[in-house]
Amino acid sequence: MCGTDQKLIWNGGGKLVEKDFYSELSNIVSTEQIKKDELLARHTTFRIGGPADYFVTVTNAQEAAEVLKLCSDRKVPYFVIGNGSNLLVSDKGYRGVIIKFTEKLCSVWIEEQPGYLAARAGAGAALAQFAREVARQKGAGFEFAAGIPGSVGGAVYMNAGAYGGEIKDSLTRVRVMDRSGNIMEKEAAELELSYRSSRLSAKGWYVLEAEFQFEMGKADEILQKIEELSRRRSLKQPLEYPSAGSTFKRPEGSFAGKLIMEAGLAGLRVGGAQISTKHCGFIVNTGRASACDVMRLMHQVQKAVREKFEIDLEPEIRLLGEI
């Protein structure tokens, strides 16, 4: 809850000797890959979030597997992030280990096959850059992804989408890792991808790599469509402010932004957090917004929409830490 103190003890209530844990971490990755008390505001598009006890970057699947296993064995809380584009982090930060995929886990491979374009991307790859490279290689149907500021892994995890397109439309297979560090290949159908949802969370699977297939088109036409969608985004979305994208999921039969606007909430502010006047589906950080500001504003929005329309808005952004 906002405003309360937070102190969590690692190791299931027992005592974990910090220097021993750090030593074990540094046996897996270099000390340059480990940061203590790293501000998570530096790693989220909301630009909000306190320090993580440990912030560890991993460069390959083996490192990721060993770090996950160490955290699981020591009962140390951990969380895997991509670009931090759909995340609201507590002002008090995160008591545990944040794991970020980098370098080799950002690699991209694209090759034309008879009748289609095959593509593969590491979980840490920027989705927007990947989508533009697919377009340059004449892959069609992925234009919507060129404006989503997340990672490939995060996009698969939540089945990201926009302008009528979703990740599930072209995803064919994924390489995942479970909480014990075991690596598996899964067909896209096994993920049960639906609107902003998948079974990855319930199964405790983390995406390492994703494979896609696209229809072939004309690169100039595809890139032109991307630019048109980009123009529409800049006109309709508050890209000039830090945010976590759409704050609430689309309720059945309507749109969250439309309901919020019709409830008269455009421009409503709590501290540095504000309902965008450009697109009411976004809560933006107008400067020095705290996680508590955002949460209080979200609660006010949910209450107002429920009272006026009898509709419960469900958060689309993920919450991390005690907020």
Q: Which residues are catalytic?
A: 196, 246, 316
Q: What does residue 238 show for φ and ψ, rounded to 5 degrees? A: -80, 65
Distances in whole angstroms, Cα of residue 8 to Cα of each of 5, 74, 321: 10, 14, 11
> Hey, what amino acid is at 10?
W
Ramachandran assignment for 253, one of left (phi > 0), alpha (psi -120 to 50 degrees), beta (any other): left
Among the listed residues 58, 43, 19, the one whose alpha carbon sits nearest the alpha carbon of residue 150: 43
| Burial tier of 235 (Cβ tally within 10 Å: 0-12, 13-18, 19+) | exposed
Cα 98 from Cα 118, distance rounded (Å): 32
Q: What is the full DSSP assignment across 15-65?
A: ---HHHHHHHHHTTS-GGGEEEEEEGGGGSTT----EEEEEEEE-SHHHHH
Distances in whole angstroms, Cα of residue 314 to Cα of each of 48, 58, 92, 279: 21, 32, 24, 17
Cα 85 from Cα 154, distance rounded (Å): 8
| Burial tier of 271 (Cβ tally within 10 Å: 0-12, 13-18, 19+) | middle
Count of Cβ atoms closer than 10 Å to residue 3 Cβ:
6
